[in-house]
Structure 1
């Protein structure tokens, strides 16, 4: 679908124009619903915020989680710090006008606030659920960008990270067994 059609759908659904640099389609999930790639700015923003959430939530899980959660969290923390550093370097070298946000968005901050209020089994369950959601969303974002993103270097990076994200999802699913 073209951008004009997506904008028309968004307007028909009564969505307000974007209040930030993020497009309506990415902010509302419309891009994922119709399988449209994000803009480079949206892709970088979502990938960076996802890494931030993974890192901070995994640091918390390394303290509060049970043994399997702590082991998983250590892997997530390491992997997402690495991908965050790679993204920063790629943006600096190949996406001049794009910026990486300094903080997480409100929805991820709310997820963290909820997680911080939990302990024991409730914490473990919520952390696992958050990981499942985060990795499903990341796979969708990275897959769409890898297929049709407009920056060749970021598209290749997204393609290379997809197997890692899929493995993270499989690991998160296994936490429940």
Structure 2
């Protein structure tokens, strides 16, 4: 069974397609529960984007070591760099909220399980599965950042989400290009 892992960023925020493991789509679930005029809860945004961002950094490190193609390794390095930065920006905005919103400090059990599955994907399949997950995860991350940027409940976090939207769009474009080159 093919599974999809959400990586978002925030990012993000992204997903890794792995055999035998499926993770629920947090950004999509969070957004689907909102009425068209509802504001996205800042704490939910920070938790969702934070978990996704932390995962992206760790999954990117795995890609740097396990990917066979130079393009996929480069993408993994970009995920580590960009999501480390995005995490810091979201963390700072969350800390400035009134009241402050805690940023996750560790991966939740679902993300830990998915990361373990990613580490065990056969190397011959790693690049394709990692990039499939990146495409799916960044689609959802883009939706999260755009939605929060438009209707988020905290002005500082809204500004950060708006600033991150073009970065996530770039990640999605890159992931789609790399994936198409692997097929």
TM superposition score category, shorter chain reference:
0.7 to 0.9
The residue number in structure 2 matching 1:107 is 110
Matches of 2:146 and 2:116, distance apart in 1: 29
Tell whether 2:138 aligns with 1:139.
no
More moved, 110-119 vs 30-39: 30-39
Deviation of residue 143 (structure 1)? 1.1
Q: Structure 2 matches for 1:1-177, cutoff 5 A?
A: 29=29, 31-32=31-32, 37-66=39-68, 67-176=70-179, 177=181
Larger radius of gyration: 1
2:71 is paired with a residue of what secondary structure? Answer: helix
Matches of 2:132 and 2:52, distance apart in 1: 15
Contact 1:41 1:98 in 2 (8 A): yes
Residue by residue over 1:73-125, the C-alpha shift from the partner in whole angstroms, topping out at 9 and shown as x without a partner, is 11111000001111111112234331112222333222212111113231112
Q: May I ask how many residue pairs the two structures share in their alignment?
A: 152
Q: Tell me the TM-score normalized by structure 2.
A: 0.76
2:138 is paired with a residue of what secondary structure? Answer: helix
Deviation of residue 31 (structure 1)? 2.4
Contact 1:37 1:144 in 2 (8 A): no
2:129 is paired with a residue of what secondary structure? Answer: helix
Instruction: For structure 1, list consecutive stretches of 5 or more residues without a partner in the other structure.
Output: 1-25
Matches of 1:131 and 1:155, distance apart in 2: 24
The residue number in structure 1 matching 2:17 is none
Deviation of residue 33 (structure 1)? 6.7
Instruction: For structure 2, list consecutive stretches of 5 or more residues without a partner in the other structure.
Output: 1-25
Structure with a larger share of its residues in strand: 2
Structure with a larger share of its residues in helix: 1
More moved, 115-124 vs 87-96: 87-96
